[in-house]
């Protein structure tokens, strides 16, 4: 069942790509943290729900976490799982918080064929919430760029 359409501009042509319901779904066996849709809506802000559960994307340069420079840990806004260390964060100049590696076992990946392209989606390994995408144009040592929605995360500064 198609629930909405996304508009993608390609040169002078306007193309509509139908997209099915892309809400985060549990993998076989489920995720350690699981809630019904109503409970997720109670726990999350509208923006967090849109990103984490409905696979949305925030506008670039709108998240305060993009400019976060303190030492600490970035956690999932849905379940508080630790996702990324500030030691792997860098300025990709894309408008979203970017990291060259997640914490061990913190994220899962899946193929995303939305918007007429193939990308690698990144989701929280604990609750399945959509975080963003990973690309192969990042810095050393991994060469990866985890392009993550700031509203999908919270930041815990390191105690000084």
- pLDDT over 90, % of the chain: 76
Sequence spans of domains, the chain: 27-157
Residue 18 pLDDT > 80: no
- Which pLDDT tens digit goes with each residue over 87-140? 999 999 999 999 999 999 999 999 989 889 899 999 999 999 999 999 999 999
In this prediction, residue 160 carries a pLDDT of 73
The per-residue pLDDT for 83 is 98
**What is the assigned CATH class of domain 27-157?**
mainly beta
Catalytic residues: 147
How many beta carbons lie within 10 A of that of residue 101, not counting itself? 17
- SS3 for 64-132 is HHHHCCCCEEEEECCCCCEEEEHHHEECCCCCCCEECCCCCCCEEEEEECHHHCCEEEEEECCCCCEEE
Question: What's CA 23's distance to the chain center, in Å?
Answer: 13
pLDDT of residue 28: 46
């Amino acid at each position: 069942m198609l629930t909405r359409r996304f508009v993608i501009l390609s040169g002078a042509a306007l193309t509509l790509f139908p997209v099915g319901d892309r809400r985060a779904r549990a993998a076989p066996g489920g995720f350690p943290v699981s809630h019904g849709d109503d409970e997720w809506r109670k726990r999350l802000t509208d923006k967090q729900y849109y990103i984490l559960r409905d696979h949305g994307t925030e506008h670039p340069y709108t998240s305060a976490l993009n400019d976060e420079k303190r030492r600490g840990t970035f956690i999932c806004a849905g379940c508080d799982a630790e996702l990324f260390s500030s030691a792997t964060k860098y300025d990709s100049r894309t408008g979203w918080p970017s990291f060259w590696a997640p914490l061990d076992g913190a994220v899962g990946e899946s193929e995303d064929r939305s918007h007429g392209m193939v990308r690698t989606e990144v989701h929280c390994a604990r609750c399945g919430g959509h975080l963003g995408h990973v690309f192969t144009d990042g810095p050393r040592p991994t060469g990866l760029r985890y392009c993550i929605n700031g509203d999908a995360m919270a930041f815990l500064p390191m105690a000084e």
